[in-house]
Structure formats: C-alpha cells, structure tokens
Amino acid sequence: MTTDRIRIFDTTLRDGEQSPGCSLRPAQKLVMARALADLGVDVIETGFPASSVSDMEATAMISAEIRDVRLCALSRCTPGDVEAAAKALEHARKPRIHVFISTSPLHREHKLGLSREQVLERAVEGVRLAKRYVDDVEFSAEDALRTEEDFLVEIFGAAIAAGARTINVPDTVGYTTPEEIRGLFQRLIAHTPGADQAIFSAHCHDDLGLAVANSLAAIEGGARQVECTINGIGERAGNAALEELVMALRVRGAHYGATTGIDSRALLQASRLLSRLTGMSVQRNKAVVGANAFAHEAGIHQHGMLRNRNTYEIMRPEDVGWPASQMVLGRHSGRHAVSDRLRALGLPLEDFEFEQLFSRFKKLCDHQRLVRDADLQTLVMGDAAVEGRGYRLSALSVSDSGKRARAHVELSDPEGHLVTEIAEGDGPVAALFEAMTRATGVPMQLESYQVHSIGIGADARGEANLSVRCDGIEHAGLGTSRDIIEASALAWLDVANRVLRQRETASSSLAATA
Ligand code: KIV
Ligand code: ZN
C-alpha cells in the first residue's frame, strides 16, 4: 500500500483568529506563526489583508521572517482584495493567494445577488488576477457542500484552467457527513476537467462536531490537503482541530494510507501557546491536548496502565509533547495506583500499614477532589487530620474604589485563633492575595490565575484555578464558590495549607532522622 503525504494547511491565524474571543495582534500572530513553523505545517494562512490593517500588518511581518513555510493570504475575487493580499505577501519567499467566492444557491441569491454564470465569471477573474502576482493560487468555493455538484465541477474546472493549483472544498457551515464528503471528493476528482493538475483540499467546520471525521473522510475520497486550526478554534463551533487530524493520521496511518510532515512532539506547546495568546482555554477532556487526555483516575484503568500502558492508551503522551501519562489519585483510584505512587515517592509500605493508609486516603477523597503527592506524604507521616487541618476562611470583603482596591480577610488558623488582615492592591484579586499572604505568612509567586463558570443559571458557581510557585516548587490550587472572589481565596488557601503541611512533614521527618 502506498503512503500519501497530506499537506497541513493551518488557518489558525485567519479562520481561527476571526472567531469571537480569539483575536490576536500582529506581534502575537508572529509568535504563533513561529510555533506553527516549528510544528512543520505546510501552509500558514496568515490573514485576510483586505479586511483589516491588522491582518495586512501581520501578514507582512510574518512574510518578512518566516522563510521556509508557504504563506497564504485570503482574498475575495476582487481587484482591491487581491492587490491587498499581494502587497501583504510582497516579501514572502513562498507566497500563495487564496481567492474565494460563495457558490451555493443560498449564498448566490441572498448574499451575493449573482447568477451561477456571474459567480463563475468572478471566480475565473479572481484566479487570473491573483496569478498576476503569484504562481501559487488556491481557489475556494464557499459553502461548497450545499452547492449543486455539476456547478462545482464546472467552477473548479474553470479555476484550474485559469491557473489555480489548489482546489478547496469548504464545508462552511459544518453540514456534511463523512459518507457524503468522501463520495463528493471521489466524484469531483474523477469529473473535474484538469483535476490531475491540482491538489484537492478539505476545509471542514465543526457545527455538528464532525469536522475531523469529515476531513478524514475527504482524505479517503482523495483530498491531499486539509485545512485546520490549533485547538480547533474557528467560526462558531470551530474548524477541524489540527492536533486531532495529525494524530489520527499518525495512529491510523495504515488505515488512511497517509502521513503528514508534522513534528507531533510540538503539538502541546503550540496548543498552550495559542491558549495563552488568546486567553481561550482548552477543555480538560479535549483529545490530544486537554489536561485529561492522558490522565487516568479509575482504579481498573490505573491497574491496567501500570501493567501495560497500551491497555488504555493508543498513543504515547511523549509523542504529542506531554511529559508522561498522569495517574491522578482521587475517589476512583484503587490500591494499585496508590501503592505504585507511594513506591515512586520512596514510601513503600508493608501490607497492614498500607491498608490503614488506603482507608485514610479514601476518607481524604471525600473532602478533596485530587490527592497530590504532598497529601500522600502527609498521610504516611501519620497526620490523619489532613482534611481538617490548616487555615479556614471566616470572612472576606473586598472594595474597589477604581484607583486602589482593598481586601479585608478573616481566617481561623490551624489552632482555631482568628487572624485578620487588610491589604491594598491594583485590583481586587491582587489586594486579596496580598491580605492572604500577610495572614498566613506563606508568600507565593503567582504564575497563572483563571476563573471559570461551572454549572448554569441559578446553579452556576465560579471555579478559580491558581498556579503558583512557593519554596521553589510549583503548586496548583482550586477553589469553588458562588462568589468568584471567595473562590479565589479558597484556591489560594488550598495551596497555602498544602505548603504548610509539606513544611510540617519535612521538619518532622528531619527531627525523626536527627
Ligand atoms: O469556511 C469557509 O468557507 C472559509 C472560506 C473562506 C475558505 O473559511
Ligand atoms: Zn472556514
């Protein structure tokens, strides 16, 4: 069986970036373009220069620096648009202009007010205009999956005759199904005049959650380019996720008879960079790059994983950039996982000791969602009251006058005494964390802070996630409450109490060995 090379056309900086909440400044696009180049994508679509000064500037900046990757700019089939794309790509070493026009009856009538013949004429004109500036022209028939098939054959044939060498078939509204798109590609490639002179490309949106499945089916039908975005960002429900497509082609390469040029080890890094730049986080259960993608909590799964990782993993976390699989200890974990973790921490226990420890572990899980290494260490050192120990929040108020915010916190310390502190800061959260630091005496360096809403309507609660550095170690803290400031205070205390317990454990083991 032959293995065909699939071109990965990344449109994170164009289709992805034009979606709500994902806009990037030109300098940020350049940073992301470097990561895409490191990943080994074949084409980077840098923007739609005629649509904004920012896209024009970003395309020019990327063109001046990224030399080895083909750079593409989007354009309608009009002289002004094509000129803007050509100007932005002026210094690119491998430029491509991507011209598009809507072809479906719905778009022809309600969006363009043009007949089939007029759309065809404009498409040909757009390709010819682009050809004046660059050799490499891509043509897209917007809303292709709701377009008459004979019209697609006609317009694609005309675009190829005018010089287009990539023919893109967008499922603009994520309407198609795998069977449908596979058949469509097979027929288009068989019947379009000059099809052998062009590469057929799939561009799938995720409105029905089928973007990746449809792109893979298009590959089965003969597509040799797929258009996709990191983390699947894009209009509405997004585009096909690059990391999912790439790993599907890698894990099931034999099935698809296809491969890509992507260095999959850089996938996680690219995903995280995009989240940081856009502020749009990736859901925990997202394939390949979500925090749970290689985390195992259920006892049976952990047992299987410890014997042979292939039992519950179809790819190695290291191959997509994760350090290793993660055995998450929590309510569903069994004896094997806990004893394995204890051994890894250098704390192997005799059977009878282990049973006692395991029942305390289960008790702790009633109060705590995740049990971390420090908690396990404390359990082993005989501190049965882990779940109850530490500072507790008694009262909290924050005021923000606009210039300076002020926080007043009241905590009860591990001995039950009340501790009160007041602090000011640039904003309510900064003031709160300063007051908490003073009250507990645990200084922390904040590395990241996120608040999400969990639940909906009247049941909605805020979940605060912190990542901080303290005593040279990175800790994560979690707090939930109806009030997001209180959730933040609880997340902060989650870390502070763990640090204090760790310090206590360290000093008692030092005393024991002295
Ligand atoms: O979804 C779409 O149709 C597009 C085209 C402009 C290629 O993004
Ligand atoms: Zn699109």
| Ligand 1 residue neighbourhood (C-beta within 6 Å) | 15, 100, 140, 142, 168, 170, 172, 203, 205
CATH code of domain 392-513: 3.30.160.270
* Ligand 1 nearest atom to the CA of residue 227, by list position: 7
Domains of the chain, by residue range, sit at: 4-239, 295-387, 392-513
Site to substitute for ligand 1 among 46, 142, 156, 239, most atoms within 8 A of C-beta: 142
Write down the pLDDT at residue 375: 77
Rounded CA-CA distance 312/191 in Å is: 44
- How many Å lie between the centroid of ligand 2 and the Cα of residue 9? 12
Burial 396-419 (b: 16+ CB within 10 A, else e): bebeeeeeebbbbbbbeeeeeeee
Number of helical H runs and strand E runs in the chain: 17, 18
Per-residue pLDDT, 8: 98
pLDDT of 455 reads 52
Looking from the CA of residue 11, the nearest atom of ligand 1 is: 8
pLDDT computed for residue 410 by the predictor = 93
d(CA 247, CA 397) in angstroms, rounded, equals: 48
Instruction: Look at the block and give the residue holding tokens 């394995």.
Output: 340
pTM summary value: 0.74
Q: If phi over 0 gives left and psi between -120 and 50 gives alpha, with beta otherwise, what is residue 21?
A: left
Dihedral sign for Cα atoms in the order 81, 87, 88, 89 = positive
10 Å Cβ neighbour count for 47? 30
- What order of strands is seen across the sheet that includes strand 473-481? 445-454, 461-470, 473-481
pLDDT in tens, 463-512: 788 888 887 777 777 777 778 898 899 889 888 887 887 777 666 656 65
Q: What is the pLDDT, as a whole number, of residue 21?
A: 83
Average confidence (pLDDT) per 10 residues, the chain, 514 residues: 92 94 93 97 98 97 97 98 98 98 98 98 98 98 98 98 98 98 98 98 98 98 98 96 98 97 96 89 92 79 76 89 79 86 77 85 81 76 54 90 88 88 92 94 87 61 80 76 87 86 68 58
Q: What is the 3-state secondary structure (H, E, C) of 425-441?
A: ECCHHHHHHHHHHHHHC
Of 46, 137, 145, 172, best ligand 1 pocket probe by most atoms within 8 Å of the beta carbon: 172
CA of 231 to the centre of ligand 2 (A): 15
Encoding tokens for residue 512? 């024991």
Q: From the CB of residue 268, how many other CB atoms can be counted at a distance below 10 Å?
A: 19
Q: How far is the CA of 142 from the centre of ligand 1 (A)?
A: 6
Ligand 1 centre distance from Cα of residue 490 (Å)? 45
User: Please, are residues 459 and 399 in contact by the beta-carbon 8 Å criterion?
Assistant: no
| Residue 114 Rama label (left phi>0; alpha psi -120 to 50; beta) | beta
How much is the pLDDT for 436? 93
Q: Report the CATH number of the 4-239 domain.
A: 3.20.20.70
Q: What is the pLDDT of residue 460?
A: 61
Q: Does 392-513 match 4-239 at the fold level?
A: no
